[in-house]
């Protein structure tokens, strides 16, 4: 036994590269620490999903110049380090400083040392320490520490996997408390999901109900398990009649789990679109995941403008017969015989009809008809009178950052659609831009393109840029994430400007545009995107 300990000790103090090897190993460990901060932040921004750091590392190192050649140099350094430990210094420098453009602390969304991040950082440090220990014990400290430094994103991801059960256990406590609170306050629960439009719809539902009942709506960013538990624990006041919950999902089973302790009385699916497609792979899987919300609800509201949701409505009817589950089909397009509530955009505003009767004449409000239709259906279902609905429709709260038109000090119109990340929304925004400028005015679209569209990202961005060129408008492309696709789609039609950051785009717009012109800021992506 003592011989083994002794031999390990002997091994551990030998480094094949000698003092240069020690120095290289130390440099790699230092670089690892810096790289750790960088990729931990990316993991935090990407909701600690277990492959986020690696995915973004590939995106940064693989797709952006000059990061790609630099990455190749680093890999070469690693390969040579087995023979000449001093070459490990090259990867060390690369890991410490790169990828170029991805800051250490973050520009748009800084690193926040929350309890969860601290836990993750500790687990990650233990993993990195284990890797380094292997290096020291085997006498290959330089090369193994170098490999460890290059593997930071992978080890960050591994830590996300390892901490997931811990986080779940911690959240259980709050979920249990929330379950108890829901039982005590006993509100009707309206659960809303959808690829987009759920936050707006939630606001509309709360607004339509709040004239005649006490309503609490979950705050915008509280749409997952931990968030909704917190919303209930901290916001669901005694005596609340209706709780309006926004439910988001990154995968199958998540919404079903939410509904197991927060049973919806009314469930709403606003729309299906290629959002988070990177995670879901196909839109069919998105439909499946979202449809979990319908399972235990007494009443389902579905926007049947999407044939997949129409099919879902039919499936609900078949599975449950007509007595047990009410299925309300709503539409933002037009009157179909089977539709219960429809809202159409007339010349003077939105026209609302429900169950064959006109609810409200033209209402001048900047809201998407489909979302309004959902909200009206929910309000009527929960017993709000048609006159009350009509009365409140005029003052629907339009959420900030959702296509708000403002007059800039420079005299041009600014359309802010920076909270958007889907093709349909972008198209609608482009249509709004056409009407915002004067006939002879200049139109400009500023965008980093759409993200999280998975395999369809390139195609969708190309298509959007082509639509911009046709509309016609000039295009300012921010960053590198979608630069190639947008440039290709835009073609040579109008003027194309490439900038690195949003600030530069804003400065360019201020300088170039004047009275009668209009600019559309379409989508905004945080700085973990190249």
Partner 1 sequence: MSTATSITAKVAVVFGGPSPEHDVSILTGLQAARELVRDGRETTGLYWSKTGAFHRVVPTLEALDFLEGVPRGAEELRLAAGPEGGFVAVSSRLGRSRPLAIDVVVNCCHGGPGEDGSLQGAFDLAGVSYTGPSMAGAALGMDKLAFAGVVAAAGLPALPRVLLEPETRETGFAGPYIVKPRFGGSSIGVEVVEDIATATARLAANPHLRNGAVLEPYRPDLFDLNVAVRTWPELSLSAIERPLRSEESSEILGYADKYVGGEGMASAPRELPATLAAPVEKAIAELARDLTARCALRGITRIDFLSDGEALFVNEINTVPGSLARYLWVDPAVSFIELLDAMIEEAAGRPTAHRSTVGADGSVLRSAGGIAAKLG
Q: Which residues bind partner 1 (CB under 8 A)?
A: 114, 181, 210-214, 219, 221-222, 230-231, 233-238, 241, 388
Smallest gap from Cβ 237 to partner 1, in A, equals 5
Give bridge partners of residue 215 from the DSSP assignment. 242
* Cα four-point dihedral sign 371, 374, 378, 381: positive
At which residue do the structure tokens 């429709």 appear?
A: 393
Q: What's the start-to-end Cα distance of the chain, in Å?
A: 53
- Number of other CB atoms surrounding residue 129 within 10 Å: 13
C-beta of residue 121 within 8 angstroms of C-beta of residue 160: no
Nearer to partner 1, 211 or 454 (CB): 211
Nearer to partner 1, 26 or 220 (CB): 220
Nearer to partner 1, 234 or 284 (CB): 234
Nearer to partner 1, 314 or 388 (CB): 388
**What are the backbone angles phi and psi of residue 477, rounded to the nearest 5°?**
-100, 125
Smallest gap from Cβ 214 to partner 1, in A, equals 5
394 CB-near residues (< 8 Å, 6+ apart): 363, 364, 365
CA distance linking residue 518 with residue 174, whole number of Å: 47
Smallest gap from Cβ 222 to partner 1, in A, equals 8
Smallest gap from Cβ 230 to partner 1, in A, equals 6
Detail the DSSP E strand segments found in 109-262. 188-193, 215-217, 242-246
Nearer to partner 1, 23 or 236 (CB): 236
Q: Say how many CA atoms lie within 13 Å of 292 toward its Cβ.
A: 20
Smallest gap from Cβ 133 to partner 1, in A, equals 35
Smallest gap from Cβ 235 to partner 1, in A, equals 6
Q: In whole angstroms, how far apart are CA 408 and each of 24, 507, 509, 516?
A: 54, 13, 11, 11
CA distance linking residue 197 with residue 343, whole number of Å: 15
Smallest gap from Cβ 436 to partner 1, in A, equals 28
Smallest gap from Cβ 26 to partner 1, in A, equals 36
Smallest gap from Cβ 419 to partner 1, in A, equals 17
Nearest to 97 by CA among 72, 122, 70, 76: 70
C-beta of residue 205 within 8 angstroms of C-beta of residue 378: yes
Nearer to partner 1, 235 or 456 (CB): 235
Q: In whole angstroms, how far apart are CA 227 and each of 26, 164, 219, 299, 396?
A: 41, 16, 9, 24, 25
Nearer to partner 1, 95 or 182 (CB): 182
Nearer to partner 1, 186 or 214 (CB): 214
Nearer to partner 1, 210 or 504 (CB): 210
Q: In whole angstroms, how far apart are CA 221 and each of 73, 117, 198?
A: 41, 18, 11
Nearer to partner 1, 399 or 499 (CB): 399
Smallest gap from Cβ 323 to partner 1, in A, equals 29
Secondary structure (H, E, C), 165-188: HHHHHHHHHHHHHHHHHHHHHCCE
């Amino acid at each position: 036994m003592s011989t083994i300990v002794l031999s390990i000790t002997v091994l551990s103090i030998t480094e094949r590269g000698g003092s240069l090897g020690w120095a290289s190993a130390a440099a790699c460990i230092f670089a690892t620490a810096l790289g750790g901060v960088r990729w931990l932040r990316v993991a935090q921004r990407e909701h600690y999903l277990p492959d986020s750091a690696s995915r973004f590392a590939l995106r940064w190192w693989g797709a952006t110049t000059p990061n790609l050649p630099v990455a190749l140099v680093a890999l070469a350094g690693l390969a040579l380090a087995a023979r000449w430990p001093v070459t490990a210094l090259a990867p060390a420098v690369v890991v410490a400083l790169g990828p170029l453009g991805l800051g250490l602390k973050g520009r748009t969304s800084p690193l926040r040392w929350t309890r969860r991040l601290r836990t993750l950082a500790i687990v990650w440090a233990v993993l990195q320490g284990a890797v380094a220990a292997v290096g020291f014990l085997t006498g290959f400290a330089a090369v193994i520490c170098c490999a460890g430094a290059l593997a930071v994103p992978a080890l960050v991801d591994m830590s996300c996997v390892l901490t997931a059960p811990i986080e779940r256990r911690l959240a259980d406590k709050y979920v249990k408390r929330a379950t108890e609170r829901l039982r005590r306050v006993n509100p009707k629960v309206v659960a809303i999901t959808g690829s987009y439009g759920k936050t707006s719809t939630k606001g509309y539902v709360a607004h339509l109900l709040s004239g005649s009942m006490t309503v609490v709506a979950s705050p915008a960013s509280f749409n997952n398990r931990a968030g909704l538990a917190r919303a209930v624990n901290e916001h669901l006041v005694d005596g609340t009649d209706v709780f309006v919950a926004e439910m988001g999902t990154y995968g199958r089973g998540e919404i079903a789990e939410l509904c197991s302790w927060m049973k919806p009385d009314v469930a709403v699916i606003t729309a299906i679109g290629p959002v988070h497609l990177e995670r879901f792979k196909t839109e069919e899987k998105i439909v499946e995941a979202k449809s979990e919300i319908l399972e235990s609800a007494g009443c389902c509201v579905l926007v049947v403008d999407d044939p997949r949701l129409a099919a879902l409505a039919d499936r609900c009817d078949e599975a449950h017969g007509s007595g047990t589950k009410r299925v309300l089909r709503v539409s933002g397009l037009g009157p179909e015989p089977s539709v219960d509530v429809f809202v159409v955009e007339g010349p003077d505003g939105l026209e609302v009809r429900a169950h064959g009767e006109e609810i409200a004449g033209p209402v001048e409000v900047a809201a998407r008809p489909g979302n309004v239709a959902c909200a009206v259906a929910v309000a009527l279902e929960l017993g709000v009178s048609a006159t009350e609905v009509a009365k409140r429709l005029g003052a629907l709260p339009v959420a900030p950052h959702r296509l708000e038109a403002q007059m800039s000090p420079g005299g041009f119109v600014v359309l802010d659609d920076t909270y958007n990340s889907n093709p349909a929304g972008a198209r609608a925004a482009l249509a709004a831009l056409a009407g915002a400028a004067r006939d002879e005015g200049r139109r400009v679209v500023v965008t980093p393109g759409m993200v999280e569209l998975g395999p369809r990202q390139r195609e969708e961005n190309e298509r959007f840029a082509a639509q911009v060129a046709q509309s016609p408008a000039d295009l300012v492309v921010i960053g590198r994430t979608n630069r190639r696709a947008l440039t290709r789609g835009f073609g040579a039609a109008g003027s194309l400007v490439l900038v690195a950051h949003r600030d530069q785009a804003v400065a360019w717009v201020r300088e170039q545009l004047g009275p009668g012109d209009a600019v559309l800021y379409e989508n905004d992506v945080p700085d973990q995107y190249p």
